[in-house]
């Protein structure tokens, strides 16, 4: 019923209000269309299971003075639902998904259904104030200090990127991006993914921020004054900004009418910068608006306007679509006891409006899409709240708990820019640049009388030259299809149109991985998909201009789980010219029955060099002194008779022609442990075993996950025999990801075997 009431309210408000029809009839019609389009959005393009979803209208507010949560309709500015909740803490923010609302208090999340308003069991969370976001009918909660990310709604998930997190951003399709502040990794959580991947890394020492432009996420590098597109494969095209952006700038998490918004806090100026349509071009010159001086730490876009919080006096500063600046008091809250002062909270809802809750939650200022602000009182005297002095109380039937509380307020006058000196007049703002008026043509000159000329000479015909075609990004690949084969999904496609520049490569990506193939390739096999989850493979063409549009395949899904990767792969015997003997521990066999092990060289999918039914194999025909990478996997047979290739383990090895002690570096999953948010059964130590390196020598041991440094590592000393066991240094919970370690000392770097991390 609540959703139907909200939709009905929006439909009613699509008509322009009285008294404004004569001002701009077309503008009113357009505004009405925008309001309707914000109610229903289509998500999951290309997904046969996708459908229309309601963009969540309005905002839930927790009034701590009376212990109730109220739903504020963002269009009508009225309260249409309320829920008693005495367990919340002052200043608790509320986020909502398609079906539930979540009150974000320290150490707990209280949840209730939006249809039946029934409060269910709380969720235990870290003891810190989180950042809440809404998009695509889902709620997101980010604990920046403890490095936890939660998605609440139709696709619940919890991820642990690790370390401190910067300000997040979420796109209109529900893809969340966060910056790992210490490592500089940019990590994404697509809407249907259950774990995060980190496809890009910020250059060391550079400062920046994430922002969403519709369904696209970008990273604003404030050090390099550059904006990078973010893709599932990492950084895409980039654009150089046309102005010097200070590293202390505050960047909005969403665009303002297609432009990136940031605040130069030193100069108290808002900049709006439009990006060009083609890579390599410079961004537009910024549109600048002077705002009052203040201590700004929060900024949000309402679509075509901006809202900022000035912590000096708990003031809200707005910039509307016409550049007018407004300012109004919001109000903090001084709770009793040992609690700190509760500041107002600025929140952008799924409906793109901005809601600014007072510290107590008894008042909310709604900033509409055009940047205009209007206050609403939350809670009535009958609820135990403080009456609104600007409103005449009206009798309320006792059997109706829902009470409109819209508070008419006089319009807010625009605030002129603050002067540095009280007697100094405001600096006039130059009017928008207008084109110069057309210059008067010179009067026609009197022509000289015609003179006798020689007859025209006939020149040979000139062959027409072909016009120069400017190259663009390639088109979309055609006929993209995926079918499960022995080693994983076999993806096929047709060539993309080059559009003036040859296709140099095709980039494929899926949840948790990516790969690149040459521009002449039309098919490839994706390995290392986890479990029996359904996957989509996305492919795009690349040429020298940039990346073309992406096309997603049909869903592919394993019927049976394959074997896990063999554990503790080592060189068990060397010293014989041209050969090595490998040994390993047997893995779990998944849903199949064991058939054999295969050993290949160079890649997991290369033709097997050796097959074995035991946990060891001797590989011959090698060249002494040459380093080879060996891949070992188990082959099983599924209940339906299909052959399943298991996950692989890799190990570099070099044959020698003389007897010597075998040098080994073996990585494996060690004992279970608990460290911050790394908890069993996923969490355990990465164990690194070193054998027969230089005695009494310092080596640096560094663990890697998916090819990236996972931990800064440790420098330790080997024993008198050259041995070392590191089993209590590196806690890890990266289930499904590839793990290995390197050991570096005076005699070079040794790389361990690579294995897939699994839950205990």
Q: Is the pLDDT reported for residue 143 higher than 90?
A: yes
Mean pLDDT to the nearest integer, 564-571: 87
Architecture of domain 663-760: Sandwich (2.60)
Average pLDDT (158-187) is: 91
Count the helices and strands in the chain (H runs, E runs).
2, 60
- The b-or-e profile of 524-539 (16+ CB within 10 A means b, else e) is bebbbbbeeeebbbbb
**Side-chain half-sphere CA neighbours of 319 within 13 A:** 26
DSSP labels, 396-450: --TT------B---PPPPBPPPPPSSTTSPPPPPPPPP-PPPPPPPPPPPPPPPP
Query: What pLDDT is attached to residue 114?
Result: 86
Q: Is the predicted pLDDT of residue 295 greater than 50, yes or no?
A: yes
Residue 344 exposure: Cα atoms within 13 Å on the Cβ side: 31
Residue 14 has pLDDT above 70, yes or no: no
Extract the tokens encoding 688.
């690194």
What is the β-pairing status of strands 250-251 and 748-751?
A: unpaired
For the chain, the C-alpha Rg in angstroms (whole number) is 32
Give per-residue pLDDT as tens, 699-713: 999 999 988 898 999
Q: Name residue 414's beta-bridge partners.
A: 326
In tens, the pLDDT along 658-689 reads 777 788 898 989 889 988 878 888 899 999 99
Q: Which CATH superfamily is domain 559-654 in?
A: Immunoglobulins (2.60.40.10)
How far is C-alpha 30 from the chain's CA centre? Answer: 31
pLDDT value at position 457?
56
CATH class of 478-557: mainly beta
Six token digits for residue 738: 């590839």
Distance CA(624)–CA(502), nearest Å, equals 42
Taking the C-alpha atoms of residue 585 and residue 568, their distance in angstroms, rounded to an integer, is: 6
Contact 507, 547 (CB under 8 A): yes
Q: pLDDT band for position 656 (50/70/90)?
A: confident
**Is the CB of residue 219 less than 8 Å from the CB of residue 186?**
yes
Q: For 78-125, write each residue's pLDDT tens digit.
A: 998 899 988 888 889 999 998 899 999 988 999 999 888 888 888 888
Residues 6+ apart with CB under 8 A from 22: none
What are the pLDDT digits (tens) for 348-370? 999 899 999 998 899 999 999 99
Kindly state the tokens that stand for 629: 């990478």
* pLDDT of 740 over the 60 cut: yes
pLDDT at 13 over 90: no
Pair of tokens at residue 571: 């060189």
Of all residues in the chain, the percent with pLDDT exceeding 70 is 78
Residue 12, pLDDT above cutoff 50: no
pLDDT tens track for 45-91: 333 333 333 446 799 999 988 999 999 988 888 998 899 988 888 88
Q: Among residues 323, 330, 208, which one has the least CA distance to residue 270? A: 323
Please give the average per-residue pLDDT across 718-727, as a whole number. 93
Give the mean pLDDT of 592-599: 94
- List the one residue out of 352, 346, 310 whose CA is nearest residue 56: 352
Q: Return the top range by mean pLDDT from 53-57, 203-207, 215-219, 403-407.
A: 215-219
Mean pLDDT score, 297-322: 92
Q: What distance in Å separates the CA atoms of residue 298 and residue 311, rounded to the nearest whole number?
A: 9
Residue 507 and residue 514 in contact, taking contact as beta carbons nearer than 8 Å: yes
Percentage of the chain exceeding pLDDT 90: 39
What does pLDDT average to over the chain? Answer: 79
Range of weakest confidence among 17-31, 447-461, 610-624: 17-31
Between 450-459, 472-481, 576-585, the lowest mean confidence (pLDDT) is in: 450-459
pLDDT at 759: 78
Helix, strand, or coil (residue 8): helix
Domain locations in the chain as residue ranges: 2-42, 478-557, 559-654, 663-760
Above 60 in pLDDT, residue 594? yes
pTM of the shown model:
0.50
Assess whether the region 559-654 and the region 663-760 belong to the same CATH fold: yes
> Distances from the Cα of 28 to the Cαs of 24, 35, 58, 86, 373, in angstroms?
6, 11, 21, 43, 18
Band (pLDDT 50/70/90 cuts) for residue 502 is: very high
Classify residue 285 by its DSSP letter: P
Q: Give the least confident one: 1-10, 514-523, 740-749.
A: 1-10
pLDDT band at 316 (very low <50, low <70, confident <90, very high): very high
Per-residue pLDDT reduced to its tens digit, 412-468: 444 444 444 433 344 344 444 444 444 444 454 444 455 555 555 555 555 555 445
The DSSP string of 288-303 is: EEE-----EEEEEE-S
Contact yes or no for 692/574 (Cβ under 8 A):
no
- With H, G, I as helix, E, B as strand and everything else as coil, classify residue 383: helix
State mean pLDDT over 246-268.
93
Model pLDDT, residue 22: 32
């Amino acid at each position: 019923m609540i959703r139907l009431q909200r939709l009905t309210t929006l439909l009613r408000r699509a008509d322009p209000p009285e008294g404004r029809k004569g001002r701009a009839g077309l503008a009113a019609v357009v505004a009405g269309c925008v309001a309707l389009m914000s109610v229903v959005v289509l998500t999951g393009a290309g997904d046969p299971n996708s459908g229309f979803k309601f963009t969540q209208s309005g905002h839930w507010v927790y009034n701590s003075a009376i212990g109730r949560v109220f739903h504020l309709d963002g269009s009508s500015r009225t309260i249409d639902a309320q829920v008693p909740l005495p367990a919340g803490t002052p200043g608790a923010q509320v986020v909502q998904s398609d079906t539930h609302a979540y009150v974000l208090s320290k150490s707990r999340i209280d949840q209730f259904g939006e249809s039946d308003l029934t409060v269910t069991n709380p969720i235990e969370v870290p003891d810190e104030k989180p950042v809440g976001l809404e998009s695509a009918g889902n709620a997101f909660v980010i604990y920046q200090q403890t490095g936890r990310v939660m998605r609440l709604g139709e696709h619940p998930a919890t991820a642990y990127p690790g370390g401190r997190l910067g300000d997040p951003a979420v796109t209109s399709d529900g893809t969340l991006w966060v910056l790992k502040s210490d490592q500089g990794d940019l990590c994404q959580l697509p809407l249907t993914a259950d774990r995060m991947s980190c496809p890009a890394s910020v250059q060391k020492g550079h400062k920046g921020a994430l922002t969403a432009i519709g369904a696209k996420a970008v990273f604003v590098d404030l050090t390099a004054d550059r904006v990078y597109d973010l893709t599932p494969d990492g950084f895409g095209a980039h654009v150089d900004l046309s102005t010097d952006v200070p590293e202390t700038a505050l960047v909005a998490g969403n665009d303002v009418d297609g432009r990136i918004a940031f605040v130069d806090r030193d100069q108290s100026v808002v900049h709006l910068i439009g990006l060009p349509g083609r890579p390599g071009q410079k961004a537009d010159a910024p549109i600048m608006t002077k705002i009052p001086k203040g201590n700004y730490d929060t900024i949000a876009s309402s679509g075509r306007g901006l809202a900022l919080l000035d912590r000096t006096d708990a003031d809200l500063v707005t910039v509307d679509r016409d550049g007018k600046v407004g300012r109004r008091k919001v109000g903090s809250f001084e709770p009793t006891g040992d609690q700190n002062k509760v500041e107002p909270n600025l929140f952008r809802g799924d409906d793109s409006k901005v809601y600014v809750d007072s510290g107590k939650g008894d008042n909310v200022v709604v900033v509409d899409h055009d940047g205009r602000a209007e206050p609403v009182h939350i809670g009535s005297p009958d609820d135990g709240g403080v009456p609104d002095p600007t409103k005449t109380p009206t009798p309320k039937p006792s059997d109706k708990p829902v009470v409109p509380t819209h508070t008419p307020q006089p319009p807010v006058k625009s605030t002129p820019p603050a002067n540095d000196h009280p007697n100094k007049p405001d600096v006039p703002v130059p009017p928008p640049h207008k084109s110069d008026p057309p210059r008067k043509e010179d009067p026609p000159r009197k022509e000289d009388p015609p003179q006798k000329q020689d007859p025209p000479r006939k020149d040979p015909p000139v062959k027409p030259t072909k016009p120069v075609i400017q190259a663009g990004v390639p088109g979309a690949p055609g006929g993209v299809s995926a079918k499960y084969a022995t080693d994983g999904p076999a993806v096929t496609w047709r060539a993309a149109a080059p559009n003036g520049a040859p296709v140099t490569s095709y980039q494929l990506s899926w949840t948790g991985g990516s790969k690149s193939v040459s521009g002449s390739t039309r098919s490839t096999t994706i390995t290392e998909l986890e479990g029996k989850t359904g996957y989509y493979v996305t492919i795009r063409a690349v040429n020298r201009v940039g990346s073309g549009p992406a096309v997603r395949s049909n869903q592919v899904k394993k019927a049976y789980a394959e074997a896990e990767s063999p554990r503790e792969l080592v060189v068990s015997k060397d010293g014989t010219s041209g050969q090595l003997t490998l040994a390993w521990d047997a893995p779990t066999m998944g849903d199949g029955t064991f058939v054999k092990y295969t050993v290949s060289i160079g890649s997991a999918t290369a033709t097997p060099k050796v097959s074995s039914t035991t946990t060891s194999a001797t590989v011959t025909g090698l060249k002494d002194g040459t380093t080879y990478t060996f891949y070992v996997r188990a082959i099983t047979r599924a209940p339906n008779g299909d052959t399943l290739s298991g996950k692989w383990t890799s190990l570099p090895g070099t044959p020698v022609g003389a007897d010597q002690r075998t040098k080994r570096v073996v990585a494996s999953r060690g004992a279970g442990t608990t460290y911050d948010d790394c908890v069993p059964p996923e969490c355990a130590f990465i164990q690194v075993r070193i054998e027969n390196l230089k005695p009494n020598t310092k080596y640096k041991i560094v663990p890697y996950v998916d090819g990236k440094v996972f931990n800064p590592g440790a420098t330790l000393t080997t024993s008198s025999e050259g041995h070392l066991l590191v089993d209590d240094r590196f806690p890890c919970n990266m289930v499904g990801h590839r793990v290995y370690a390197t050991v570096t000392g005076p005699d070079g770097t040794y790389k361990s075997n690579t294995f897939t991390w699994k839950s205990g």
